Amino acid sequence: MIIILALIVAFLAYANGANDNFKGVATLFGSGTASFKRAIGWATICTLAGSICAVALASTQLKNFSGKGLIEEALVVKPEFAACVAVGAGLTVLIATRFGLPISTTHGLLGALLGTGIAAGSVIDGSKLLSSFAAPLLFSPLLAIVATTLIYPVLRTVRLRLGVSSQSCLCIGTQVLEVVPACDAVCMDAAKARIEITHGQAATCRTAYSGAVMGIEAERTLNSLHFLSAGAVSFARGLNDTPKIAALLLVMQHVTPSLALLIVGGAIAMGGLISGRSVAETMSHKITQMNHGQGFTANLVTALIVIGASRIGMPVSTTHVSCGTLFGIGAVNGTARWRTILSIFSAWLITLPMGAVMGAASWSVVRVFYG
Supply the pLDDT for residue 57: 64
Supply the pLDDT for residue 168: 59
Tens digits of residue pLDDT in 173-184: 444 444 445 554
CA–CA separation, 5 and 323 (whole Å): 31
57-71, 189-203, 280-294, 356-370: range with lowest mean pLDDT: 189-203
Tens digits of residue pLDDT in 309-320: 767 766 677 888
For residues 218-239, average pLDDT:
87
How many other C-beta atoms can be found within 10 angstroms of the C-beta atom of residue 43?
32
Nearest to 44 by CA among 252, 237, 186, 203: 237
Residue 37 backbone dihedrals phi, psi, to 5 degrees? -60, -45
On whether the CB atoms of residues 267 and 93 are closer than 8 A, the answer is: no
Supply the pLDDT for residue 251: 75
Higher pLDDT, 370 or 241: 241
- pLDDT cut 90: percent of the chain above it: 39
In 195-213, which positions are buried (b, 16+ CB within 10 angstroms) versus exposed (e)? eebbbbebeebbbbbeeee
Mean pLDDT, all residues of the chain? 81
For residues 344-364, average pLDDT:
93
Tens digits of residue pLDDT in 79-94: 888 899 999 999 999 9
How many other C-beta atoms can be found within 10 angstroms of the C-beta atom of residue 173?
9
Helices (DSSP H) in the chain: which residue ranges?
A: 2-20, 26-30, 36-57, 59-64, 73-76, 79-98, 105-119, 126-128, 135-161, 185-192, 218-246, 257-275, 277-281, 292-311, 318-333, 338-370
pLDDT-based confidence at 337, cuts 50/70/90? very high
For residues 270-281, average pLDDT:
93
On whether the CB atoms of residues 29 and 286 are closer than 8 A, the answer is: no
DSSP string over 32-101: TSS-HHHHHHHHHHHHHHHHHHHHHH-HHHHHHTTTBTTB-HHHHT-HHHHHHHHHHHHHHHHHHHHTT-
- Give the contacts of 303 (CB within 8 A, at least 6 positions apart): 229, 232, 233, 235, 236
CA–CA separation, 310 and 58 (whole Å): 6
On whether the CB atoms of residues 287 and 327 are closer than 8 A, the answer is: yes
For residues 96-124, average pLDDT:
89
Supply the pLDDT for residue 192: 43
- pLDDT cut 70: percent of the chain above it: 77
- CA distances in angstroms from 359 to 42, 90, 354, listed in the order given: 33, 10, 8
Supply the pLDDT for residue 115: 93
pLDDT reading at 194 higher than 60: no
- Give the contacts of 80 (CB within 8 A, at least 6 positions apart): 1, 5, 366, 370
For residues 54-80, average pLDDT:
69
Supply the pLDDT for residue 204: 46
CA–CA separation, 85 and 366 (whole Å): 11
pLDDT-based confidence at 28, cuts 50/70/90? very high
The SS3 of residue 206 is: coil
pLDDT-based confidence at 362, cuts 50/70/90? very high
Each domain of the chain, given as residue ranges in start order, spans 2-160+238-370, 165-210
Higher pLDDT, 55 or 206: 55
Tens digits of residue pLDDT in 133-166: 666 667 888 889 999 999 999 988 887 887 776 6
Element containing residue 180 per DSSP (H, E): strand 175-181
CA–CA separation, 200 and 155 (whole Å): 21
Q: For residue 87, with 0-12 CB atoms within 10 Å meaning exposed, 13-18 middle and 19 or more buried, which class applies?
A: buried
